[in-house]
Amino acid sequence: MQPLHKQTSLFIPVTTLVETRRTTTDADNTHFDPHQLSTLTLEITRDELIHQIIILMADGHRWERQLVLGATNNELARSFGNCFLRSQRYTVAFPLQPSPHAICSDLNGNDILTIGTDEIANAVRAITHIPQPASPQETTRLIAEQLESQRFIARSEIFFRVKSIVKDTAKKKELGFTQQFVDLLFTENCLVEENEAQILRTITSLLTQREWRTIEAMKAAIDIVNPAQRTWRMIESYWRDLPGDWWEPSHYIPATNTNP
């Protein structure tokens, strides 16, 4: 029996870069999607292919911080991290070294194009409308403004959890005593260990003044502070773009001069 020879390469789609894509009167080909296999051979310009790749990458990506604070080309190009995209026509790798770039290859592993840092960034800006970064002083002000807004949201979201823990039975918010506990949470530099300890002591003291047993008051304080601190870690990490090891208390970087 003769050995079988694989001929998969005959059916692998081919993407060819052209200076100008040919026009066609075929209505079915007027609006093409290079990721679908309507034809095995696709001619596409370099700019069109880059645009299509970055649309796939940018879709669903969180750009909230960059839209508010702006970002450099290098920051935008690095925003996808070390990742890999596969479509029905090609694969794209996004290495970060020696500088952020992307390598698009066909399914046979042949390189189609390499996208540089500035090209990635420009394509992201064209799709998302992210501005250039603000000045350091303006960036500090904008971060403080965003964190203040996030404090309000976080306190609103945790209010009823705290109300339950402290056993506030008032039916109307303004008649209860929960807010004094909530206002202790999500303060500036609350993640600094000594500040966290002070919040725990204050909550414990307020509860013992309401005739709670000390041990129960301490447990309630921990039940209030722990989830609040976890929430604020995620919020502050995102908006201040803190380094990866900042989660360790000893590596935390306190905010400075953030008053808007």
Q: Are 161 and 228 contacting, i.e. CB atoms less than 8 angstroms apart?
A: no
Q: What is the spatial distance between Cα 67 and Cα 131, in angstroms, rounded to a whole number?
A: 7
In terms of pLDDT, which residue wins out, 45 or 41?
45
pLDDT band at 91 (very low <50, low <70, confident <90, very high): very high
Q: Are 72 and 117 contacting, i.e. CB atoms less than 8 angstroms apart?
A: no
Q: What is the spatial distance between Cα 190 and Cα 226, in angstroms, rounded to a whole number?
A: 12
Task: Give per-residue burial for 115-126: e unless 16+ CB within 10 Å, then b.
Answer: bebebbbbbbbe
Question: What confidence score (pLDDT) does residue 60 get?
Answer: 86
Sheet holding 111-115, edge to edge: 83-86, 90-94, 102-106, 111-115
Q: Are 100 and 77 contacting, i.e. CB atoms less than 8 angstroms apart?
A: yes
pLDDT band at 31 (very low <50, low <70, confident <90, very high): very low
- Average pLDDT of the chain? 86
CA angle 31, 34, 36 (to 5 degrees): 95
Whether residue 8 has pLDDT greater than 80: no
Question: What confidence score (pLDDT) does residue 110 get?
Answer: 87
Question: What confidence score (pLDDT) does residue 108 get?
Answer: 85
Whether residue 5 has pLDDT greater than 50: no
Whether residue 150 has pLDDT greater than 90: yes
Question: What confidence score (pLDDT) does residue 181 get?
Answer: 98
pLDDT band at 43 (very low <50, low <70, confident <90, very high): confident
pLDDT per position as a tens digit, 159-183: 999 999 999 999 998 899 999 999 9
Long-range Cβ pairs for the range 189-194 (8 Å, 24+): 189/254, 189/255, 190/228, 190/229, 190/232, 191/229, 191/232, 191/233, 191/236, 191/249, 191/252, 192/252, 192/254, 193/249
Whether residue 29 has pLDDT greater than 50: no
Name the residue type at position 31.
H
Tell me the mean pLDDT in the region 99-126.
Answer: 93
Domain ranges of the chain: 8-128, 136-251
Q: How far apart are the first and last CA of the chain?
A: 80
CB atoms within 10 A of CB 252: 17
pLDDT more than 70, % of the chain? 82
The pair of structure tokens assigned to 72 is 């450099």
In terms of pLDDT, which residue wins out, 63 or 258?
63
Residue 76, Cβ density class (10 Å: 0-12 exposed, 13-18 middle, ≥19 buried): buried
Question: What confidence score (pLDDT) does residue 22 get?
Answer: 61
pTM of the model: 0.76
